[in-house]
Amino acid sequence: MGILTKKNIVIGIIVLFILSAVASTMNPKTSSNNSTTQAPSAQASEDVRLKIGDTITLKDFKYKVLGVSKSKSVGSEFASKTANGIFLILEIEAENFKKDSEILTYGNFKVKDSKNREFDVDTSATIYTGSGIFVDRLQPGIPKRGQLVFEVPNDETIEFRVRISEGLILKKREEVVLGNLSVIKPTTQTSELSSFGSSQLPSNLCQEFQNQCDNSGECEELNDLKQFGAC
């Protein structure tokens, strides 16, 4: 009877060992399955990109990119500029949420391409459109529409997007996909300028650009405006 009890004990130990081994082989597989089901959701959150027409809220301004077109030149018969590459002309809507008026400067906008190159606003080309948004003082709560012009390579294989930031020192920023040149349509708009004289800005606005230059050393906008007769 004692020998039979020992056999039962040995058999029991063997059974427990087998069950333990089976369980250990199943747990890692379950863990692996869990990790693979979670990964796609994390990846999906990184792939969210804004599109034309989406609203962007950054600090005290709200923006919309309403559209984009392309052109080899901008301006009128009296004053124009031709691109070495090609111009992207963005239609922008901006609204000021501050309690007082504010100038929207073009330093808040950059175009990037799929090769991670960055392009600044072409100030003179924007002036030639006659509706550049950055030379206006935005009153609180009143949406304002205007254009920004960027010169980029004339290459249909490259995708473009515009980056909008809170200010010159990049804090929060958003990017809107514009597409490549094969899907961006040629502009159908003509310049509102009939001559350089008609592009003159109010003297008080020019003075504000002068003050910005004197106080911060940021004189690029003022110099461009003076060069093309706007100030």
Looking at the fold, whether 96 and 180 belong to one and the same domain comes out as: yes
Q: With contact defined as beta carbons under 8 Å apart, do 136 and 101 qualify?
A: no
- Residue 10, domain member (yes or no): no
CB 115 within 8 A of CB 91: no
Q: Which of 38-42, 88-92, 184-188 has the largest mean confidence? A: 88-92
Whether 39 is in a domain gets the answer: no
Total domains in the chain come to 2
Do 140 and 208 lie in a common domain? Answer: no
Q: 45-67 pLDDT, tens per residue? A: 333 478 899 999 887 889 999 99
Residue pLDDT, tens place only, 80-125: 789 999 999 999 999 998 888 887 778 889 999 999 999 999 987 8
- Indicate if 166 and 227 belong to the same structural domain: no
Which residue from 84, 202, 94, 76 is spatially nearest to 144, judged by alpha carbons? 94
Distance between terminal CA atoms of the chain? 113
Query: For the whole prediction, is pTM greater than 0.85?
Result: no
Domain check: are 149 and 170 in the same one? Answer: yes
Residue span of the structural domain in which 226 resides: 200-231
- 182 and 115 in a common domain: yes
Q: Are residues 65 and 170 in the same domain?
A: yes
Considering the domain boundaries, does residue 29 fall inside one?
A: no
Residues 150 and 230 in one domain: no
Do 122 and 83 reside in the same domain of the chain? yes
